[in-house]
């Protein structure tokens, strides 16, 4: 689990930085089938033809009736064949033949990007946008969990602001919110390599639950007397000793 979290966080950092730089060069970016960023301007037919490996994995997943990222990783290993060794010249020639078959779309995309880059004005990303991305990541991850790996917050914040915010900005904003007390570090186990976080709101909620539980102790009469309760419990052989005692 820890290794998977690390890989996905690293992928999000790489993709956000790549997307940011491509946009500065004038390229338009859109999300592909898997949610990963891709340069806009290419037909799906060309993309499928230029990546037969991806098509092979999709067909394998369709046969299994699966679509998750975990299943895709398994499919990638299960369908891996021995790669044909080609020289760099042969690889370039093959790509050029394929591009020509589809109308040399790359030439059109590059020309448009260069023209657009002349008009692009590099401006600083408002801190509000970075904060909104982290808030989105916080709400998504803490909806069901009380403790979250910090790298999941970084991953989802970068995905939310793909191409507009960068890792350094997310790191700075997240650190400042820890100092302010919104996020609280949690002691991690020896086998966990990432930093674990909870929130002040989560702590307050759990404290309130404990308070209400303690306040309600002894306020209601038991449904069964100890004698009757024990007799009923022994009728259920699947219960262990601890469960029967309670």
Q: Which of 199, 203, 206 is nearest to 135 (CA)?
A: 199
Inter-residue contact 194 to 6 (CB < 8 Å): yes
H helix or E strand, kind and range, residue 160? helix 150-160
Compute how many other C-beta atoms are within 10 angstroms of the C-beta atom of residue 15.
19
Q: Say if residue 79's pLDDT is above 60.
A: no
For the chain, the structural domain boundaries read 27-117, 127-200
Answer whether residue 122 shows pLDDT above 70: no
The Cα 56–Cα 49 span in angstroms is 11
pTM of the model: 0.67
Write down the CATH number for the domain with range 127-200.
1.10.10.10
Q: What is the pLDDT of residue 58?
A: 61
Measured between its terminal Cα atoms, the distance across the chain in Å is: 35
pLDDT in tens, 161-213: 888 889 999 999 999 999 999 999 998 776 777 789 999 999 998 888 888 88
Q: Among residues 126, 162, 157, which one has the least CA distance to residue 139?
A: 157
The answer, yes or no, to whether residue 238 has pLDDT greater than 90, is: no
pLDDT for residue 199 = 94
What's residue 206's pLDDT?
87
């Amino acid at each position: 689990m820890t290794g998977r979290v690390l890989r996905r966080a690293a992928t999000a950092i790489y993709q956000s930085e790549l997307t940011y730089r491509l946009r500065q060069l004038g390229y338009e970016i859109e999300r592909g089938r898997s949610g990963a960023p891709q340069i806009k301007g290419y037909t799906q037919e060309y993309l499928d033809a230029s990546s037969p490996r991806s098509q092979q994995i999709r067909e394998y997943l369709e046969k299994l009736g699966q679509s998750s990222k975990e299943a895709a990783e398994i499919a990638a290993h299960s369908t891996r064949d021995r790669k044909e060794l080609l020289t760099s010249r042969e690889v370039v020639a093959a790509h050029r033949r394929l591009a020509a078959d589809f109308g040399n779309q790359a030439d059109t995309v590059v020309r448009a990007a260069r023209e657009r880059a002349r008009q692009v004005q590099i401006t600083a990303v408002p801190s509000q946008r970075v904060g909104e991305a982290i808030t989105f990541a916080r709400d998504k991850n803490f909806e069901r969990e009380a403790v979250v790996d910090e790298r999941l917050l970084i991953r989802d914040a970068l995905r939310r602001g793909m191409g507009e915010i960068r890792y350094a900005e997310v790191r700075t904003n997240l650190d400042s919110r820890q100092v302010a007390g919104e996020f609280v570090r949690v002691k991690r186990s020896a086998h966990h390599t990432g930093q674990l976080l909870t929130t002040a709101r989560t702590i307050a909620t759990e404290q309130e639950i404990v308070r209400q539980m303690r306040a309600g102790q002894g306020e209601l009469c038991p449904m069964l007397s100890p004698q009757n309760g024990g007799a009923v419990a022994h009728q259920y052989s699947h219960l262990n000793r601890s469960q029967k005692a309670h």
